[in-house]
Structure 1
């Protein structure tokens, strides 16, 4: 249901977020089937991966295709003026690419979780959402937010001729926004329920109490801020730096700032990540499968 230029980034980020949300269950599942047969250990037997694929196939892809059919101009960020401007193979690529991207995001994050690099799995989600918001806010020519908040090429071309308030009102009263509202309630609602549910399910497993440092409600809020709020702020900051300093210098400065915030050993992001209760150890670190009293 998002514009096509950002769809694959969103799918990858969602897959990574699902894997991080179910990190403790994935470790538990790997331990429980470690001594069993190949069929049991196969990816097709992983219930969390299969639910992630189901989410993409039932919600992400159909809603995206609906928006592409309902308003091809908005769905392509005003690149195509109508259905005739969209190559059929591009639709096929979008459909398959969305599923592949969400699976790839899940598998990369799962692999990092299982080798004890949970923070790097979380960074997969941060990176994917940063690219998503970067496309929607800045785009490739600095007009990303205009392309997001206009329904067709004419409205995009006339954006500077009217007030921003009137432009927003025109978009908010359009059929495109109404469709986004209805579809977004289903897609984003299901996505958030899944992520929060898997987090809470993981907190019931052994070791969760010692990893989670804050109450559950606060942990959910911290996780949401880290997964969605931080990349959004980063995309706004990157867009501002690019506008002020140009692409090369702006991106270099932003990369240095992002590295200090995300990669430093004592960074605030690492501190907040440690509060949520996502496991940070290798899945083989504790082979005791029975809950301790």
Structure 2
């Protein structure tokens, strides 16, 4: 249900976020199957991975294809003016790429969670959403938000002639926005319900109360702000820096700010991550006794 250029980034971010939300369950799943045969260790036997692929295939792909058919100009960020400008292979790539990107995001984040690098799994979510918002806000030519707020090809072409307020009002009264509103209630609503449900399910497992340092409602709010809000602010900041000082200076400057914010051992983001109670330890299968518990600290010092 999002423009094609940003869709794969969103799918990857959704897959990674789903895996992080179910991180504690995935660790239990790994521990239960540690000594079992290859059939029970099959990727297809993982219910969380299967539900992630189902979400991408049943909700993300059909809504995106509907908007591509209804308004190809908007769906392609006005690269194409109509159906005749959309290559058929592009549609196939979109339909197949969304589930693949979601599965890849899930598997990467799951791997990081299982080796005790939960914070790096969280960074997969941040990176995916940053690229999503960066594409919608700035795009490849600095006109990302103009392309998003222009429901028709003529609106985008005539953008300089009208004020931003008029363009926003035109977009809010367009059929494209109505479709986004309806599909967003289903897709984003299901996405948030799944993330919150899996997070709360993980909190009910042994050890969760020791890791979660805040009430559940506050933990959900912190998780939402960290996964969805922080990348949006980062994309907005990156776009402003590029517009003010140019890409050659703005992007390196933003990289320094992002590195200090996300990677420093005493960064506020790491501290907030430690409050939510997502996994910071993992189990590794042993050769003799079947289960060997290994704790890996990934919390801020």
Give TM-score, length-normalised by structure 1: 0.97
Deviation at 1:287, TM superposition (A): 5.4
- The number of residue pairs the alignment matches comes to 288
Partner of 1:44: 44
Query: 5+ residue gaps in structure 2?
Result: 286-290, 294-301
Partner of 1:29: 29
Task: Look up the SS of the partner of 2:30 in the other structure.
Answer: helix
C-alpha distance in structure 1 between counterparts of 2:252 and 2:199, whole Å:
35
Please show how residues 276-287 of structure 1 align to structure 2 within 5 Å. 276-284=276-284
Deviation at 1:283, TM superposition (A): 2.3
Deviation at 1:148, TM superposition (A): 0.4
Partner of 1:63: 63
Comparing 46-55 and 243-252, the one that deviates more: 243-252
- CA RMSD of superposed structures (Å): 1.1
Does 1:158 find its partner at 2:171?
no
Structure 1 stretches (4+) deviating beyond 6 angstroms? none
C-alpha distance in structure 2 between counterparts of 1:225 and 1:203, whole Å:
19
Task: Look up the SS of the partner of 2:282 in the other structure.
Answer: coil
Partner of 1:145: 145
Query: 5+ residue gaps in structure 1?
Result: 289-293
Partner of 1:17: 17
Deviation at 1:282, TM superposition (A): 2.1
Does 1:88 find its partner at 2:84?
no
Deviation at 1:238, TM superposition (A): 0.2
Please show how residues 1-293 of structure 1 align to structure 2 within 5 Å. 1-284=1-284
C-alpha distance in structure 2 between counterparts of 1:165 and 1:93, whole Å:
35
C-alpha distance in structure 2 between counterparts of 1:283 and 1:122, whole Å:
19
Q: Deviations over 1:125-175 (max 9, x none)?
A: 000000000000000111100100111221012122122221111111111
Q: Deviations over 1:40-87 (max 9, x none)?
A: 011010000000000011000000000000100000001100000000
Q: Deviations over 1:202-248 (max 9, x none)?
A: 00000100110000000000000000000000000000000011111
Task: Look up the SS of the partner of 1:41 in the other structure.
Answer: coil
Q: Deviations over 1:255-277 (max 9, x none)?
A: 01100000000000000000000
Partner of 1:291: none
Comparing 156-165 and 145-154, the one that deviates more: 156-165
Give TM-score, length-normalised by structure 2: 0.94
